[in-house]
Structure 1
């Protein structure tokens, strides 16, 4: 092949290689640019949603409540002593005045015998002194008459001045004897009164060796044992009268229009029982608690079978006139943060966090008083894990 023609072939080959290389670079650059401009895929959270709408609900208000006895009496010792008998256990129903425990009365009975003997002696001494006083009184009267005669005779100059002076001395002695006798009798009367008081106290102590129930009710808080020595005032248990029983609630001022004295109410236990106990408001607090700013109110419930126990929790409900239209959402749609409530709105596949205020609580739903409008799509699952602006995909409504 001629040399000149070979050079043309080589030059053509080189040019072809350059073109191919340039084309490859352009294709690679275009692919890189396409990858750089590609939009990354967004992860969506699948959620259930509900459409907010108004519905008619019974107009009512309810409150958390705790039960407390209508009466409570502490059973305590009125005299010291050793316990020798116990007649109650926790949970026993007792009647007012029923003997619950017995103290040893041996020492008291011995003291009563001594005190009775002292009283009898005081009575005997007083009686004897009163007889003596009568004699002294008679002597005084005779001495007074003798003095009066002597004075009259002296004035008639029948007797001497010495005779009159002797009569005066005798009268003064008789008067002194009378005053002394009266003072002695007053002291003996005081002794008699002291002896009578001591005996009365001992008899009361003897009576108080039987510790009785101050009211009728059910016993609780037993804390004594046979052989234990207790002092005056020692509490050995508590009697609680639970028929009737009170449901105690704390009420905001805005709800006092429902909770008026004599208003009807119903109570249900928090254990899931559907049994309702009807009652009426008996006590409405006259002043709000300085901390909670709420009023304590008590609803009286009949409890003849003792099914309701003090210390148990439940809810009290007050019904109002008629029904009202409200927006209510499932409780699970509600989120809470630092005492404020919120929901997530479904806005075209985006979760929007929305603050709300709540009203009455129903069985599985809650009234929304602001923050949600009728027709809003509300997320009701995954509320605790969603963030404002998260992408969501509604899988059910």
Structure 2
């Protein structure tokens, strides 16, 4: 055997012995990654930042204004013109009731009004006629009076017979009676005019009432907003005052929180607050503290505080929960990282730290999440260089090369 073959044989035996030893011992030898296989990553140096301290409160959202859809008249529902979630405007028709009987009442009231107006016209004509008649009776009376006065003077002088004087006296009395009758007729006609005017007024009021009733068979939205709480169906008979639904004005939303007496030192009307919804929606909404109850709840001893948030785009919905943050006026030191630096899952988060070119895993606890950043409460310290790319594919003790910081 040549010297070269002897060397090769010795090397093969040595390799077999090493592999066999590792196999029997159950331990895998750690492989050192060569520089050619290093993972390229970006890192960020950890810095502790001083910022304004914030207090967090659980919040529920409610409409800034709510109007009940109720009916002023009872009746059978013939049309339902809305659904929950539908946007409506003030005065828009939502429900219609059967108005057959009301239409009949309107027609009857119109007939009564027409009759009263006709009777008024007749009474006015009667007054005019009686006044013309009285003018004639007045003329006849004045003529009879002159004739009576003349014949009385002649009779007193013995110039005419008694029968002629008595005839003039009778004519005067008849003229007085006719004049009095004409005057009474005028007064009666004038009283009839007042009666018919009262009848017209009563008929007009009744007609207006029936028109209002007819209008109320169409039930409209009391305010503009979004429909909710639908409580009506086709064919249903509804009594007066039934709540058929609700209209919620959500152009502005109130975030309602409960605060303690000790919180009132920094929570003030007109102050700023930030809302973030529960769940995956990380968007923040800016609001203004609108009002704080003057008296605490008798049982919970907390104050209800409402924060107005503009909602013209309709993103926020009543009944949803979230968190409101309000600055306390104090300061705190904190560390934050981009959310992409986190690995793992909730309750078991970790980051990788660049330890002289090697990725070292460190378990961390998280705090508040703001947009694309997350607060790190423990697991890293100021000055650490945290890897912020390729986190999901990195392995513990894997060699890395930093391409950007």
TM-score, normalised via structure 1 length: 0.60
Match for residue 176 of structure 1 among 181, 184, 188 = 184
User: 2:192 aligns to what SS in structure 1?
Assistant: helix
C-alpha separation between the residues in 1 aligned to 2:273 and 2:144?
97
Question: Bigger shift: 101-110 or 139-148?
Answer: 139-148
Q: Which residue of 2 aligns with 1:136?
A: 130
1:201 aligns with 2:209: yes
Tell me which of 232, 235, 245 is aligned to 1:237.
Answer: 245
Q: Distance in 2 between matches of 1:162 and 1:259?
A: 104
Gaps of 5+ in 2: 1-48, 154-164, 335-366, 370-405
Shift of 1:204: 2.4
Give 2:271's aligned residue: 263
* Counterparts in 2 of 1:309 and 1:143: CA distance versus 1, 3 Å: same
Using the TM superposition, give the Cα deviation of residue 272 of structure 1 relative to its aligned residue in structure 2, in angstroms: 5.8
Residues 1:99 and 2:84 are matched in the alignment: no
1:71 aligns with 2:65: yes
Instruction: Return 5+ residue gaps in structure 1 as ranges.
Output: 1-54, 327-361, 365-397
Distance 2:77 2:71 in 1: 10
When residues 59 and 118 of structure 1 are mapped into structure 2, their CA distance, relative to the original with a 3 A threshold, is same
Distance in 1 (alpha carbons) for counterparts of 2:292 and 2:104: 54
Q: Deviations over 1:163-189 (max 9, x none)?
A: 665555444433332222122121211
Partner of 2:284: 276
- Residue of 272, 293, 296 corresponding to 2:304: 296
Q: Deviations over 1:108-142 (max 9, x none)?
A: 22332232222222221211111111112333444
Give the distance between the partners of 1:318 and 1:130, measured in 2 at CA: 78
For residues 71-121 of structure 1, give each alpha carbon's deviation from its aligned partner in whole angstroms, at most 9, with x where no partner exists.
111111232221112121112222222221222222222332232222222
Q: Any idea what SS the aligned residue of 2:196 has? A: helix
Please give the secondary structure, in 2, of the residue aligned with 1:181.
Answer: helix
Once the two structures are overlaid, the 10-residue window that deviates more, 155-164 or 211-220, is 155-164
2:120 alignment partner, one of 126, 136, 144: 126
1:307 to 295, 309, 315: 315
SS of 2:96's equivalent in the other structure is strand
Inter-CA distance 154–257: structure 2 relative to 1 (3 Å threshold): farther
Other structure's SS at 2:213 match: helix
Relative to the length of structure 2, the TM-score reads: 0.59
Q: For 2:231 and 2:195, how far apart are their aligned partners in 1?
A: 47
Deviation at 1:161, TM superposition (A): 6.8
**CA-CA distance at 1:191 after TM superposition:** 1.6
Question: Which residue, 218, 223, 226 being the options, matches 1:215?
Answer: 223
Alignment size in residue pairs: 275
The CA distance in 2 between the partners of 1:142 and 1:293, in whole Å, is: 92
